Amino acid sequence: MAKITYRQALNQAMAEEMERDPSVFLIGEEVAEYQGAFKVSQGLLQRFGAKRVLDTPISEAAFSGLAVGAALYGLRPIVEFMNWSFSFVAFDQLVNNVGSLRFMSGGQFDLPMVFRGPSGGGTQIGATHSHCPESWFAGVPALTVVSPAFPDDAKGLLKSSIRSNNPVFFFEGERLYGIEGEVPDEEYLTPIGQARICREGSDLTIVSAGYVTHTALSAAEVLGAEGREADLLDLRTIKPYDFDRIAQSVRKTNRLVIVEENKPFSGWGAQVAYDVQHRLFDWLDAPILRVTGLDLPQPYNGALEAKVLPNVERILAAARQVLR
């Protein structure tokens, strides 16, 4: 298997799907001539031409709406947001149109489209560019929400998302783009809705998604050195999420810590915690704890931002508390 970056894995996924299916096209700000703000679309304009790799004006509302129309006519658009924080000016298209048209048409229209781009903080870009809106969009009934942490999953899940007839909101991360990992050379798809077991243990369960999975892995390694082993599950898909795999782990460890970069109020981890206590209460030997971003706007200052984001120290504190 080749070792490539998360960024390259996404690029390969789009190139392979555009090669396989002529109805797939990429649209967004600077995706063509500049080859993407983070170079995820590097080489695609040269390979597939200007009719399938389209630069747009700086108007997320306009190009999101254009993509909805294209999907209704049977094309499969991939829409790149330079940052998911910029998607808020297209909320009507994303929630009222993408989230409702299939239902309101009685299933007459599919919406085979992917919205993708980086979300989250950690790069000192401040409060208006560091949002984690995964949980906000997960609250829209018709949307699939994906957040892979590793290059092989980024490729496999993006290919699955492009082939889905349901709209998929695909969350990447500036801190993830440079992470390397082995990616199979042959054709493969990663199923939507299945968690990944990153580390096995019997003392507690840690559930995470996206970049903080790497933070949770670092914390699990420290716990392991202390003689406490964690089952670490990377959700990969936030909605629908893999409750069965979490349940299997909690029945073994009887303890659960949830790690998410979102702010604490109504984060996806709150839903997971509710479901586990509701369905597995008798299996729990300690209260479920969540480690989230702190409930304040993201600071520019790097030292302050490191305190706001979930970090190894706070994950270890939560793990040690449930292990008492």
User: Backbone dihedral region of 120: left (phi > 0), alpha (psi from -120 to 50 degrees) or beta?
Assistant: left
Residue of 13, 314, 247, 259 lying closest to 153 (CA atoms): 13
Q: Is 129 a catalytic residue?
A: yes
How many other CB atoms are there within 10 angstroms of residue 315's CB atom? Answer: 26
Cα–Cα dist 145/174, whole Å: 18
Q: Is 278 a catalytic residue?
A: no
List the alpha helices (DSSP H) in the chain: 6-20, 44-48, 60-72, 91, 101-104, 134-138, 151-163, 212-225, 243-253, 268-280, 302-308, 312-322
Cα–Cα dist 115/167, whole Å: 8
Biggest alpha carbon distance in the chain?
60
Catalytic residue among 17, 60, 172, 174: 60
> Which three-class secondary structure state does DSSP give residue 244?
helix
**Quick one: 41 exposed, middle or buried, by C-beta within 10 A (0-12, 13-18, 19+)?**
buried
Catalytic residue among 129, 172, 174, 260: 129
End-to-end CA distance of the chain: 42
Residues annotated as part of the active site: 60, 129
